[in-house]
Each structure stands twice: as C-alpha cells, then as structure tokens.
Structure 1
Amino acid sequence: MTGPALLGPADVRKLAGDLDVRPTKKLGQNFVHDPNTVRRIVTAAHLAEDDIVLEVGPGLGSLTLALLPACKQLLAVEIDPVLAARLPTTVQERAPELASRLHVLEADAMRVKADQLAAAPTALVANLPYNVAVPVVLHLLAELPSLRTVLVMVQAEVADRMAAGPGSKVYGVPSVKVAWYSEAKRVATVPRAVFWPVPNVDSALVLMTRRDSPDANRAEVFAVVDAAFAQRRKTLRAALAGWAGSAAQAEQILIKAGVDPGLRGEQLTVDAFVRIAQQR
C-alpha cells in the first residue's frame, strides 16, 4: 500500500477556503501543511498495528491521513463542527481503503469521557492548541487509563516544562503532574514554517510513556504540588503554610516526610510530594 495522498500547503488552503474556515486564535488553530512533518510525528509515536489512536484537534486532516495506515483505529475528537463534519469526506477522498478505521467525535477534548469514544485508545497522538495543551493531556491521562503512550506537538516552551526534571529552571506544576502519570521526554523540534498560519513560536514533540502512578490520592498530592509552586521563590515551609494550617505545621509535616523544609518545590520529585501529602 502506498498510503494516502497527504495534504500539502495548497491542499490545506483550498480545503480551508472551500469550508470558509479561518484559523482562529480562540481555538488555537495552526494547521500543519507539511507532509514530511506529519510523517515524522507518526514515526516518533512508535505505533503498533493494533494501536487504537486518539487524535485531538485533527483540523483539516493533515496528521489524520498520516496516522490511518499506522494503526488499527483512529478516534478523532474535534470541537469545530464544520471540521468534524468534513474529516470523513477528506479521508474517503484520499484514503478510501482506510476510511472504516476513522471514528469522529464532535466534542471538547477537555470534557471527553471514556464512554463517549468508540473504543479504548492505547495511544494519543495530536497537534495540540498551545493554550490548552497541558490541561488536555492531564485530563486525558486521568480519564483514559488505557492510554499507554502520548505523543503531542506543543509550543516548545511548554514541551520543556512537561519534560523537565527536578532542579530545572522550568520544572513546575505541569512537570510534576505529567510525571505522576508518565515518563516524558522532548524528542524533536518542529519549525514554525510548517504551519498555516505561521505561529510566532517554535513547536516541539513530547513523548510520554505511561508508568504506574504512585499509590496515593491524586487530588491530595496535586493540592500539595499547586501550593508548593504558587509562590515558587518561597521555601516549602512558607509555601505550604496555607495548605498545612501554619508554617510550623508545614515544617512538622515536611520533617515527617523526610523533606528539608528549607527546600523549594522545584527541587522535589513527584514521589517526595506524595510523601508530604501522606503525612498530613
């Protein structure tokens, strides 16, 4: 099989024109129009033939067409009703032999529930809008335990935060919460020229591999994380005072958890945050 005819710059603009679609900042729409880029994304996702892939924000279908030959089923979640309605037609025109693999759900990915999907996805592969990338990934990892791998294209700065480890200047709330679910690493940089319209930032691919989450109450641990980074220049003793009831109580909890009260949140692993939450 030679594979579908992928969308190039002229195809993307024509399709958008036919649909009277103008990319909006509100939805964070930047359409990929470079076939080599979508092929790179599919390669970086390391998909198996039996994978059921979830794609968030398929847009005009550039990545969708590249993903279809590489998986068993493709579940596309699209918030824009015009784009959601058109996607099956685009696939039917360019890859009719693969059209039966596609299932489109018109929905907001931030509110998608497992029972709305046609099957349990094993991989998330998506070009995510910059403004909602982190909350979408965290929501889907929480809602869909069947997800084993995640490969997302996000703003380069966001990619660095998602994949950062303790001690890094960009290590923060997204880093710790992503680490609760997975091991994350930045795997490639994507130039801005492959998008229409051209964004004013570079993008990057982040690969996340699901790990066993800690044996603890996620909401309680995340509350500690949020408190620790709300005032990231403060020591944990001071930053966790509100959460613990007072600075003195925070210090006692930290000592019991084996954590130096003089440290800052950016120096702690997710497992250290778990120990703190369990001492309250």
Structure 2
Amino acid sequence: MTETPAPAGPQGVSLLGPADVRRLAAELDVRPTKKLGQNFVHDPNTVRRIVWEAGLTAEDVVLEVGPGLGSLTLALLPACRSVVAVEIDPVLAGLLPTTAAERAPELAANLRVVLADAMRVRAADLGEPAPTALVANLPYNVAVPVVLHLLAELPSLRTGLVMVQAEVADRLAAGPGSRIYGVPSVKAAWYAGMRRASAVPRAVFWPVPNVDSALVAFTRRAEPEGADKAAVFAVIEAAFAQRRKGLRAALANWAGSADRAGRVLAAAGIEPTARGEQLDIHAFVKIAKTEAELGE
C-alpha cells in the first residue's frame, strides 16, 4: 500500500510523513532505542501544531534537543531566525543537515547541528546568536534534568515548549497543594512560570510509546533576588525527601537539628508543622535566606 506523501510546509518545506521516517531510519539502519528515549514524531500536523503553540517570532533562535530524523526541525526552520539542534547520536546528527538541504533548501543554512549530550552542553558549545526559545520533543528518561540544566546554563532562553511524558508535564506545571507538586515543580519555578499545554496522541510517534505525552510551556521570569540557588535547592530537596513529615522534622538534617530547623522556620514566619508541598518557591527562598542570616 502506498502512503500519501507528506504535504509541504511553509515556504515550500517538505515535512516528513510516516513513510519518510521509516525510509530514513532504514537507510541509516537506525532503530529507536529506549536507552536514548527515542520516539520519532511522524505526523506533519503534530509538528505544525507544536510550532504554532510555541508562539515563535522571526527573531527567535530556537534550541531543539534530540531532533532525531528532523520532523520537528523542518517545521521550525520557517518559523524563526535559526535552529540550533543538539543531538547525542552521531548518525542522526550527521544526517540532519542533509535532510534540511533536501527538504528546506532555502532555509538549510539557518540550521546548526551540535553533536553533544544536552545534559552536559554548555552555552559556548551552541555558538552565537544564543538560543532564545527551547522547542523540543525531549527524551522522556531525562526530560526534567535537561530542562533544568538548560534553564540554568542558558539565561538567553526566554520561552519554551517541550514534549514530555504527560505525568512529567503535570509535575512541572503543578502548584503548591497538589499531590504531584514536588522537587521538579519547585526547581522549575525558580526559573520560569510553567503551564501544561495540549496532549499529544500516542499514534503520532514511531515506535508508539507505552506512555501518554503532553506539551509543557514556560516563560522565563526573574530569579529571586538576593538568594543563593544552591542553598535554596538544598532546602527544597530536604523538604521533599520526607514529604509526609512536617518541615521541622523534614529539615532537621539540613539545619543540623530539629530544634534549629524550628528556629529557622519560626524566624522565616513559616509554620513548623507545614509540609513542603504547601510552600511555593518564595517560601523556600525565605527559609534559605533566614538560615544564612541566623548563622551558627
């Protein structure tokens, strides 16, 4: 049975359809692996929707992590100034410029491919101009640490829209009081406002994943003033390591004793019996600042 070719995208870009994805994978002898969290999107309408929801401008420099065979990359190129694609697989990284040249010849020069691990990539590795937006179908097994690393490493990132496991999208966007509010939620809130966007059906991937997917969007905001991030993150981790306990008990090891944790919390104006899941990022900042002010 012959599949209908994928329709052209904006500016004559030929997007990848299911047949194209399978053909490219076969030519390269690429088999998506669970280790790298690879699930390739093969539906042109899905990548168009992702680009639309990302709200890009003609001046944006988009950072794409894990471009794979290039389905999303091709849809991004007409929507922004340029795309910086970070790919850990050398075979896929080598193919991407060729795919762009064949399917988006007028825009292929606007693509930079960086062979690197997104968990370790540095701003200097990405060149200039610096990325302003993150748009990616992230490897699900490392989605949260990748997002947090990139937000920390790239202050130039102002917005983002990433596809992750639906459960992870919910956690990143969760607010205080939610049972799924936790370390990822609070750490992400240090950098940006997060919101869950639309769901993504399983059928648009190859191979079909056994989990649901969703988009999560973020907008950068100013980091809390006068606070040491490492100190604040240490409080967050301690509070959620024993999330069923009140903060006086949960922060005992962090503070040196339960009594000192109680004094810090009282000085910060936070109820010692409250639990970590009830506090927003500003409350954690206040605890860290208070502890530093009290000293030994």
TM bucket normalised to smaller: over 0.9
Contact 2:17 / 2:42 at 8 angstroms: preserved in 1? yes
Residue 127 of structure 1, aligned match among 131, 137, 146: 137
Contact 2:11 / 2:78 at 8 angstroms: preserved in 1? no
Q: In structure 1, the residue corresponding to 2:62 is in which secondary structure?
A: strand
Residue 218 of structure 2, aligned match among 208, 212, 217: 208
Alignment of 1:65-214 (within 5 A): 65-119=74-128, 120-214=130-224
Q: What CA deviation, in whole Å up to 9, does each residue of 1:13-60 have, x standing for no partner? A: 110000000000000000000001001100010000010000000000
Could you tell me how far apart the structure 2 residues matched to 1:113 and 1:141 are?
11
Contact 1:3 / 1:69 at 8 angstroms: preserved in 2? no
Structure 2 unaligned spans of 5+: 1-9, 292-296
Could you tell me how far apart the structure 2 residues matched to 1:145 and 1:72 are?
18
Q: Which residue of 2 aligns with 1:22?
A: 31
Could you tell me how far apart the structure 2 residues matched to 1:198 and 1:249 are?
51
Contact 2:235 / 2:251 at 8 angstroms: preserved in 1? yes
Could you tell me how far apart the structure 1 residues matched to 2:104 and 2:140 are?
29
Does residue 247 of structure 1 match 2:258? yes
Does residue 256 of structure 1 match 2:267? yes
Q: In structure 1, the residue corresponding to 2:157 is in which secondary structure?
A: coil
Q: What CA deviation, in whole Å up to 9, does each residue of 1:93-146 have, x standing for no partner? A: 001000010000000001111111122000000000111000000000000000
Q: In structure 2, the residue corresponding to 1:153 is in which secondary structure?
A: strand
Q: In structure 2, the residue corresponding to 1:147 is in which secondary structure?
A: coil
Q: What CA deviation, in whole Å up to 9, does each residue of 1:236-269 have, x standing for no partner? A: 0110000000111101000111110101000000
Could you tell me how far apart the structure 2 residues matched to 1:260 and 1:150 are?
35
Residue 2 (structure 1) shift: 3.6
Could you tell me how far apart the structure 2 residues matched to 1:92 and 1:59 are?
16
Relative to the length of structure 1, the TM-score reads 0.99
Runs of 4 or more above 2 Å deviation: none
- Measured on the aligned residues, the alpha-carbon RMSD in Å equals 0.7
Does residue 7 of structure 1 match 2:30? no
Size of the aligned set, in residue pairs, is 280
Structure 1 unaligned spans of 5+: none
Could you tell me how far apart the structure 2 residues matched to 1:73 and 1:276 are?
42
Q: In structure 1, the residue corresponding to 2:12 is in which secondary structure?
A: coil
Relative to the length of structure 2, the TM-score reads 0.94
